[in-house]
Each structure stands twice: as C-alpha cells, then as structure tokens.
Structure 1
Amino acid sequence: MKRFIVYTLSIVICFVLQSAMFHYIALANVMPNLLLILVVSFAYMRGRITGLFLGFFSGILVDIIFGNVIGLYALLYLLIGYFIGFTNRFYSNDDYTLPIIFVAVSDFIYGFFYYIFEFLLRGRLDFLFYLRRFIFPEIIYTVTVSVFLYKLLHMINNRLNARENEEA
C-alpha cells in the first residue's frame, strides 16, 4: 500500500513539475520528460509489471490533460515501461550509468513514435528537421535531469525495500 501511494504521488509530482515548472525553464523550446524518467527508473528497478502500470497511469494522465486522442501517450509510456522492465535482471544497486542510457534510448523511441503518430500520419515528412529540432534537444535535456532524478528515485526505492524487509 505504501508503494502504491509513493507511485501515485511520484506520478502527480512529476506531472505537475513537467507541465508547470519546466515550462518556464525550457531550453531550446523543449522540456525534459520527467514522467518518462519516472517510468524508466521504476521499470528498471522493479520490473515489467511496475513499468507497465506506471507507464499506463502516467500516459493516461498526460492524455487526459494534453492529448488530442485518449490513449496515445498511455500506449507509448506503457510499452516503454514494459520493455524497459525486462532489463530488471541487469539491475545493480550501485550502477547509475545503465538507467541513464535506458532513459536516452527510451526518449528517442518516444520521440520517434510521437513523430510517426502526430506528424508523419498528417503528411509532414521532414523527419530530419524534427530530429534536430525536437528529439535530440529533448534527449539531452531529459538525460541531464535524469542524472539527478534517478538518484532521488533510487533512494526512495531503497527505503521502500528496507521498510518492506523490516515488516516481513
């Protein structure tokens, strides 16, 4: 139950920070994707099912507030969380480089599929422009923020694990 409350609060806090605070400090007109960092981090630390649920609920929240079509963001975050959850077997408590790489790869995949669904299907074919203008700057900004946010999420996960071990 504690873990569910922590996950819910984490989703809400990251969503509010992403949509309210980082809007004012956008660099190159892009913002870091905090919800993607959250989904990738917990999917890497906890596994497929956690990544799937966090991805779905993060995506559905973005869909409800910002989406044109309900389900697009939910599907993207859900799939990213699920597939990154397979990397849980490589999880090491002291490794900080692998999750940062997963965040970068996930952000590229997210940006690529977002381009396909939002631009390519509408006839906008200039992928290289979109890649230079939006995908690469967002990857750089998201990876920079994920260095700090992952450490915080890792600490939260370790405390939750310690409390669960004490109770058991």
Structure 2
Amino acid sequence: MKSKIVLFFTIILSFLLQSTLLQKIAIGSITPNLLLILCVSMGLMRGRKSGLWTGFFSGLLVDLFYGSVFGFYALIYMYAGFFSGYAFRIYYDDDIKVPMALTAIMDLFYNLAVYGLQFFLRGRLGLFTYLYRIIIPEIFYTVFLTMIVYKFFYYINHRFMSATRKERESIWVLK
C-alpha cells in the first residue's frame, strides 16, 4: 500500500513539474516529456503491470487537463509503460543506457501516435516537417532529461517501494 501511495504522489509531482517548470525551460516550444520518462522507468524497475498503471494514470491526468479526446494520452502512456516493462527481468536497474534507449523509442512512438491520430487524420501531411521540428528535438531533450531524472526515480523506487520489489522477485510468489 505504501508503494502505491508513493507512486501516486510521484505521478502527481511529475505532472505538476511537466505542466509548470518544464514549460519555462522549453527550447523552441519543445519540452521534455517527464511523464513518459516516469512510465518507462516504472516499467523497467517494477514490471509490466506497474508500468501499465503508471502510464494509465499519467495519461489520464494529461487527458483531463489538456486532451481533446478523452483516453488518447492514457492509452499511449499505458502502452509505453507496458512495453518497457518487458525488459524488467533482463537488465540491471542502475544501468542508464537501457532507460535512455527505451525512452527514445517510446518518445518516437508517442510522437508518431500523436501525429497520426491528431494531424494526419485531419489532412495535415507534413510528416517530415513534424519529424524535423518537433519529434527529433523532443527525443533528444527527453533523453537528456532521462540522464538526470532516472537516478531520482531509481532512488524513489529502491527507497520507498522496495518491499513490493522483494516480494515480486521471490521464486515462491507466482505472477
């Protein structure tokens, strides 16, 4: 129960930081996606189910405050957390290369989904312009922020959510 409360407050804090502080440090109206970093981090450190729920509630917050179609961002973040959870058992938490690579892949997936469902279906066909001006700079900015923020999420996971992790890694507890 303690880990769920800590995860809830981490989601709220990440959303507030993304909505306020990171908007102030935007470079050319490009901001890093802190909620995507959180979804990928929780998926990598805690597994598919935790990544899925983290993504769902993160996306739900974005849908409630900024979304035009309810559930769109919840679905994208949910998939990002779930698919990054596949690497839960095959990599070490303290290694930064895998979270950076998965964040780049999931940010590309996120931006292509946003382009496909919000621009392409409306008849805006400038994919290469969107790719050059929005997607690639946001990927670099988000991956750069991942190098900084991932250690903080790693500390929160191992400091406040370690009981669930030990229980999950036990050979006696079935998934």
Question: Shorter-normalised TM-score: what interval?
Answer: over 0.9
5 Å matches for 1:141-152? 141-152=141-152
One-letter amino acid matched to 2:147: V
5 Å matches for 1:55-134? 55-134=55-134
5 Å matches for 1:4-83? 4-83=4-83
One-letter amino acid matched to 1:14: S
CA RMSD, aligned part only? 1.2
Contact 1:107 1:139 in 2 (8 A): yes
One-letter amino acid matched to 2:9: L
Taking the aligned partners of 1:116 and 1:161, their CA distance within structure 2 comes to 37
**Structure 1 residue runs of 4 or more that deviate by more than 3 Å after TM superposition:** 161-165
Structure 1, residues 11-56: CA drift from partner, whole Å, max 9, x if none? 1111111111111110121100000000000101110000110000
Taking the aligned partners of 2:134 and 2:57, their CA distance within structure 1 comes to 25
Equivalences, count? 165
Unaligned runs of 5+ in 1: none
Deviation at 1:162, TM superposition (A): 4.4
Structure 1, residues 80-109: CA drift from partner, whole Å, max 9, x if none? 111111111223033111111101110011
One-letter amino acid matched to 2:124: R
One-letter amino acid matched to 2:126: D
Contact 1:32 1:142 in 2 (8 A): yes
Contact 2:30 2:134 in 1 (8 A): yes
Unaligned runs of 5+ in 2: 167-175
Taking the aligned partners of 1:136 and 1:33, their CA distance within structure 2 comes to 13
**How does the TM-score come out when normalised to structure 1?**
0.94
Partner of 2:173: none
Taking the aligned partners of 1:94 and 1:63, their CA distance within structure 2 comes to 32
**How does the TM-score come out when normalised to structure 2?**
0.91
